[in-house]
Structure 1
Amino acid sequence: MSRYQIRFQTREHAGAELASALHAYRATGALVLAIPRGGVPVGSVVAHALGADFDLLMALRIDAGVALDDTGKTWRTNGAEADCRAGSLCDPHFDQLCRQRAVYTPVRKPADPGGRVVIVVDDGLVSGATMHAALASLRKRHPARLVCALPIATRTGLDHVRALADEIVCLDMPDRIDNLARFYHEFQLVSDDRVRRLIGMASTRSQASVMGAAASVPALSKVMLIPCGTTPLRAILESAPNPIGVAVMVHAGDAQRRAARSQYLARKLRAKGLATMLVDLQPDSRVDNALDSALDDLAARLDQTLSFLHDSTPFAGLPAGLLCAGNTAAPAFRSAESHSSQLRAVACVAGRVDLADSAVLKGLGIPTLLLCASGAPESIRIHHLAIEQMNCPRQLRLVPARDCGFDDREALAEIATLTGDWFERHLAKLTRPRLGYWE
């Protein structure tokens, strides 16, 4: 088994690593086919990195060791074919596949794999039934070369599909997978809307390629380390091609509690066309916030983070917005002053704005959004005092919530909407039109 319990941060991260393993197929005119729905975010990143065409390959597991292809035929992992299109078991599943194809690509025919290098991608393989049906169906359409590409798969599952592929590329092969989600830090259900967006985004890229227009900022899903004294800071960068800007999301401590909330907000910001960069400024702390005495240290780490963004990422030329929380508010306001040429907007969620010096608040020169829980009267009072001292364009918005934890899903959705609109308003007008992103 892999030495990593969590092998990938997201499906996009898995796609980026898989694309590196498939670099030999870059710019070869290959066709990447993803199995919906989980394989689509992986395949989208692979196709973009390889400069390949991208489409869907419909297949569906209907029973143990049995799966249905997009022609209505069923295949068993032992290699036998059983055509049961008229059977009671297959009919509803085939109808489901047809409906999905109509929803995902309503205005065009599936790509023709004949005579092409075809790379079939999914987010993982356990029994191998679905991939077996997909590859067996493709074999009948005479591809020049058929590649099965997976971030993770069981050895037994790969044995069931090995004879159908000319090449298998797999990044990790544990002996057993009880739950594929355990190998991903984030493994949420991929919605139909997200599949449609990714397919539409791939079509836009293909049209741009035909016109000779390359993306000036590539798609990215990467974990990087920011040099910072004896404790490097871990940064998670994710982006679609040509984002409108980058949202730098910082907090201090208690990363486990904040992880799901931060990933949710990051997904929503990327849906607005933004790149995201998530950083814990105090990774060695298990408390919810840094101590007041650590503010100078947090400010230095945030300055280092912004310098790293400018010097060591593809986002150097993009306008940046800063999303902070808790005790990172005061350091964020300081950085907004010293990095005014780089930062274009700030959003602060339940921030300790009372820790910011009056001179710093008065010196803020970029649009600032403060978000506060409607059920926290003392926090509201403190935020009103901060707003009165600011001279920059600013807003204070109250989010329906009982306290500043914002653990409620509806409160998080409201925060995502407000911050996304704020950054879109103040960053998008400074750069190129966006192509879109996954939810």
Structure 2
Amino acid sequence: MARSASTEGTRPVQVRAGDVMLDGDLGLPEGASGIVVFAHGSGSSRFSPRNRRVAWMLRDRGLGTLLVDLLTQEEEAVDLRTAHVRFDIGLLAERVALTIDWLSEERDTAGLGVGIFGASTGAAAALVAASERPGAVFAVVSRGGRPDLAGEALHLVETPTLLIVGGADTLVLDLNQEAMEELRCEKRLVVIPGATHLFEESGALEEVARLAGEWFEGHLGAARERGEARRSSSRGRAQGPV
């Protein structure tokens, strides 16, 4: 049977984020080299077909994924009427940060290096969360995102950040170029020629997944190696001289 980009390799989870529970889909390939949290934005959810496809391709590379709704059903209903909640970067960032805390406490994901993949306003939430959890987030990738909405938090981000923008998405490209000047961390801006905001052109989303996969593999793999080295050193000190 052909693999489904929407369901293969995931299981439903509920993430406690303060006083609310967020619905999510967790996918953990055997021996996962890290895990990527997807921060949705602009009225999207964990059912975004584009993010689910990228997540599927990341799992094919051995990375875990967590697609989580950053809004409750009640908040989504309000947002459908007003479109205000999707621009509440503070709320979205808090939910992303609490999701990262949840991952660190879960048996299956504790110890895995964490990256964040943000789209649209979710990219701003990802960067703010990274600035608030500098020791827990090791890589950020933005797809057609609005990093400019992170505001002053851009100056505080220490996490290596990759911004991916479509060449035909000119307004968002300008905003990403401005955000690049504000970031003080390791950073890279990649423009996919001819791609529009939703990366619907042939091969565009696959290129997004390739770039994101390489960025996450490089930085999350290094994080895991550092963690293993620290644990090995700690065991050595505990045993004392032999």
> What is the TM-score with the length of structure 1 in the denominator?
0.46
* Aligned sequence identity (%): 28
Equivalent of residue 215 in structure 2, options 422, 433, 438: 422
Equivalent of residue 121 in structure 2, options 308, 327, 332: 327
Cα distance in 2 for partners of 1:224, 1:408 equals: 32
Cα distance in 2 for partners of 1:291, 1:401 equals: 31
Amino acid at match of 2:122: T
Instruction: Establish whether residue 351 from structure 1 lines up as the match of residue 140 from structure 2.
Output: no
SS of the residue aligned with 1:255?
A: coil
Tell me which residue corresponds to 1:260: 49
Equivalent of residue 431 in structure 1, options 204, 213, 224: 224
User: How many matched pairs?
Assistant: 218
- Aligned-residue offset at 1:369: 0.3
Tell me which residue corresponds to 1:312: 106
Cα distance in 2 for partners of 1:249, 1:429 equals: 20
- Aligned-residue offset at 1:318: 1.0
Q: From the superposition, tell whether residues 230 and 393 of structure 1 become closer, same or farther in structure 2 (CA, over 3 Å).
A: closer
Q: From the superposition, tell whether residues 239 and 396 of structure 1 become closer, same or farther in structure 2 (CA, over 3 Å).
A: same
- Aligned-residue offset at 1:335: 1.1
- Aligned-residue offset at 1:339: 1.1
- Aligned-residue offset at 1:283: 4.8
1:153-203: CA deviation from partner (whole Å, max 9, x where unpaired)? xxxxxxxxxxxxxxxxxxxxxxxxxxxx9xx9647xxxxxxxxxxxxxxxx
Cα distance in 2 for partners of 1:327, 1:304 equals: 17
- Aligned-residue offset at 1:293: 4.8
Contact 1:372 1:399 in 2 (8 A): yes
Contact 1:344 1:367 in 2 (8 A): yes
> What is the TM-score with the length of structure 2 in the denominator?
0.80
- Aligned-residue offset at 1:430: 3.1
Cα distance in 2 for partners of 1:318, 1:290 equals: 34
Instruction: Establish whether residue 298 from structure 1 lines up as the match of residue 92 from structure 2.
Output: yes
Larger Rg: 1
Contact 1:282 1:290 in 2 (8 A): no
Cα distance in 2 for partners of 1:355, 1:349 equals: 14
Tell me which residue corresponds to 2:173: 380
Equivalent positions of 1:11-410 (< 5 A) are 37=1, 186=7, 221-228=10-17, 231-252=20-41, 253-255=43-45, 258-284=47-73, 285=76, 291=85, 293-357=87-151, 359-410=152-203
Q: Structure 1 regions of 5+ residues with no counterpart?
A: 1-36, 42-180, 188-219, 433-439
SS of the residue aligned with 1:236?
A: strand
Cα distance in 1 for partners of 2:12, 2:107 equals: 11
Name the structure where helix makes up a greater proportion of residues: 2
Tell me which residue corresponds to 2:235: none
Stretches (4+) displaced over 6 A: none
Cα distance in 2 for partners of 1:379, 1:319 equals: 29
Amino acid at match of 1:367: P
Cα distance in 1 for partners of 2:141, 2:130 equals: 11
Q: Structure 2 regions of 5+ residues with no counterpart?
A: 226-242
Contact 1:290 1:327 in 2 (8 A): no
Contact 1:375 1:400 in 2 (8 A): yes
- Aligned-residue offset at 1:268: 0.9
Cα distance in 2 for partners of 1:390, 1:422 equals: 17
Contact 2:169 2:195 in 1 (8 A): yes
Contact 2:120 2:145 in 1 (8 A): yes
SS of the residue aligned with 1:249?
A: strand
Q: From the superposition, tell whether residues 267 and 291 of structure 1 become closer, same or farther in structure 2 (CA, over 3 Å).
A: same
Q: From the superposition, tell whether residues 320 and 185 of structure 1 become closer, same or farther in structure 2 (CA, over 3 Å).
A: closer
Higher relative contact order (CA 8 A, sep 6+): 2
